[in-house]
Structure 1
Amino acid sequence: MPHIIKTQNSPYSAEKMFELVANFQAYPDFLPFCTAAHGEPVAPNEVHGTLSIHKGPFTKSFTTHNTMYPDETPKKIAIALVNGPFSQLTGEWRFVDTASGSEVTLDLQYQMATGFFNQALSGVFDWIAKSMVDAFCQEAHRRHAQEKTD
């Protein structure tokens, strides 16, 4: 099963990075491959998030059950598949405060469902998952850079 771990340092706090990742509805504003996003609360600190992704000839939607842990150290968002082109998808975002900001990690394990189209999508999903951490750090800079200079 493919396993992706991507970590990046950010000059912004773990709290700011957590809030950015937890805001599903904003994803199409800054993730170039995300064409639609919707978060549906299902319990306190639990959301079903549906993303529609488009890259090249591929367009797919998938839904994950996301459990938020905003008060834990490290802050994290646990991810589990509800439905989509995967037979398995689990993982988490982790946000750790550091002396210079935070360390942001996306840790995912996934298996595409059988079928030619879904197997071809595997490489696209790998690229998307790896680029997400960079995109969130860039969006945090766009949103919060002015605060750092004030």
Structure 2
Amino acid sequence: MPSFSSTHRVNHDADDMFRLVGDVEKYPQFVPLCQDLQVRGRKELADGRTVLIADMTVAYKLFKETFTSRVELRPDEQVILVEYLDGPFKHLENRWTFETSGEGVCTVGFYIDYEFRSRTLGSLMGVMFDRAFRKFSSAFEARADQVYGS
């Protein structure tokens, strides 16, 4: 199964980065390949966690697919977990972590593991997805600079 992981130090607070990544409705404005994102449901849990069910549409040239995920925001742990529910994948797991590295600095961890249902789709989209994932860190950092200042 293809997977990708990265850690990236950014000049922004871990809480700010957690909020920015957790604001999934804004993804179409700056996330590579994300054409649309609709939150179907949101539930605030008693322990401070928030669970979202979201449909994300990714598009590249003639390719366009929508998939549904369960997104769990864990602010006390500074973790965001994404669990695949439905769409063109056989499997998709995504995890974000945010760790304070100093005053106004944090380390953002990104991990994704996925497999398309169709081998043909997987071979067509694999390279393009890999390139997009490599741009994620800089896209979120640029967005943080825009929202919170550089």
**Range of TM-score over shorter length:** 0.7 to 0.9
Tell me the residue number matched to 2:87.
84
Percent identity over paired residues: 23
Range moving further from structure 2, 12-21 or 122-131: 122-131
Aligned position for 1:9: 9
**TM-score, normalised via structure 1 length:** 0.87
Letter of the 2:148 counterpart: H
With 107-116 and 10-19 compared, the bigger mean Cα shift is at 107-116
- Structure 1 vs Structure 2 CA RMSD: 1.6
Return the letter of the residue paired with 1:63.
Answer: T
Structure 2 residue 128 is the aligned partner of structure 1 residue 119: no
Deviation at 1:132, TM superposition (A): 1.6
- Contact 1:49-1:64 within 8 A present in 2 as well: yes
Letter in 2 for 1:124: M
Judged with a 3 Å threshold, the aligned counterparts in structure 2 of structure 1 residues 2 and 139 are, in CA distance, closer, same or farther, namely same
Residue in structure 1 matching 2:140, options 118, 130, 136? 136
CA contact (8 A) 1:18 1:95 kept: yes
- Where in structure 1 do 4 or more consecutive aligned residues deviate above 4 Å? none
User: Which residues in structure 2 correspond to 1:1-150 (within 5 Å)?
Assistant: 1-44=1-44, 45-72=50-77, 75-100=78-103, 101-145=105-149
Change (3 A) 1:84 1:128: farther
Superposition deviation, residue 81 in structure 1? 0.5
Please list every run of 5 or more consecutive structure 1 residues that lacks an aligned counterpart in the other structure. Answer: none
In the aligned structure 1, how far is the partner of 2:14 from the partner of 2:116? 31
> Which moved further from structure 2: 110-119 or 84-93?
110-119
Q: TM-score, normalised by structure 2?
A: 0.87
Distance 1:31 1:138 in 2: 10
| Structure 1 position 113, deviation (Å) | 0.8
Question: Residue 26 of structure 2 aligns to a residue in which SS?
Answer: helix
